[in-house]
Amino acid sequence: MIKTIGNNVDQDLYVYESKLDFGKEFGQKILDLVLTTPDIFPSRHNYKKTLKDVLRNAGKEKTREILKRMDKFHKLYPDQDPIEFHQYFFTEELKTEFMSIIPDWLKTFTEEGPDFMLQIGSQGQVLYPHKGHRRTCSLFFLLQSDGQETRWYRNTQDFEVIDALRIPDIDCVEQVISSVIRPGKWYVFNHREWHSVHKYVSDRPRINIGIDFNDISATELVKLVKQHEG
């Protein structure tokens, strides 16, 4: 379910539930492997920097601003621990299998082509608003979830996006989309707009796979998907 909040919101700019129908058996295979033999998936180590590592190279002024923004989040979500998200590569064999089942029009749409990713979220109750560094958008396929909510935001006023840790000043953004993403559906997911994740009662990991793009916009991907989803 996707709900628009506020006026003059282009829902498709943030998230779009498509009618694409491929990869369900492959998705089930990946879920089974994650639950039984998770160690076969190589970790994306570039996503494992600690906050101390991030701030070390940010400089004093930007560090102060990042900590100020984080303090606002802590006050907004008291007694809620951050969700731990970990990202993984596919093995070469699984990557080849994945590539064989996605439509040809997705393989050739961009110069870089698609990249594949496995993501597992566990523990905690909230992932603070953030935006992607390199990937612009993806086709997002949820394998396991318990109704977590993804929220998207837009700026109400300008502020510096600090690349060391791309989180907003929460006083300068407003929520525009609330989405409970459904397992077994392909969604166009905009990683370049501010978004957060909110977890409720279950301790089951939230597991998804993604077809990532770094050189097209979510708007372009939505247009392409609509042309081919039938």
pLDDT, the chain, mean: 91
Reduce the DSSP state of residue 34 to 3 states and report it.
helix
Q: What is the DSSP string of 171-198?
A: GGEEEEEEE-PPTT-EEEEESSS-EEEE
**Structure confidence at residue 46 (pLDDT):** 53
Residue with tokens 């612009």: 136
Strand order in the sheet with 195-198: 2-4, 173-179, 149-155, 195-198, 126-130
What class is the 2-228 domain? Answer: mainly beta
Model pTM above 0.75: yes
- Taking the C-alpha atoms of residue 113 and residue 192, their distance in angstroms, rounded to an integer, is 18
Reduce the DSSP state of residue 201 to 3 states and report it.
coil
Residue with tokens 């081919």: 228
The type of residue at 113 is: G
pLDDT tens-place string over residues 37-48: 999 999 986 544
pLDDT tens-place string over residues 59-114: 888 888 999 999 999 999 998 988 888 999 999 999 999 999 999 999 887 777 78
Strand-strand pairing, 2-4 and 126-130: unpaired
Q: Angle, to 10 degrees, between the axis of helix 92-101 and the axis of helix 24-36?
A: 160
What are the distances in angstroms from CA 33 to CA 37, 148, 184, 207? 5, 22, 17, 12
C-alpha triplet 13, 4, 156: angle, nearest 5°: 70
**Structure confidence at residue 122 (pLDDT):** 84
Token readout for 201 is 């009662």
Average pLDDT over residues 118-139: 91
Neighbour count for residue 155 (Cβ, 10 Å): 14
pLDDT tens-place string over residues 157-173: 999 998 878 999 999 99
Domain boundaries, the chain: 2-228
pLDDT tens-place string over residues 184-201: 999 999 999 999 999 866
- Given a cut of 70, whether residue 213 has pLDDT beyond it is yes
For residue 54, name the pLDDT band (cuts at 50, 70, 90). low
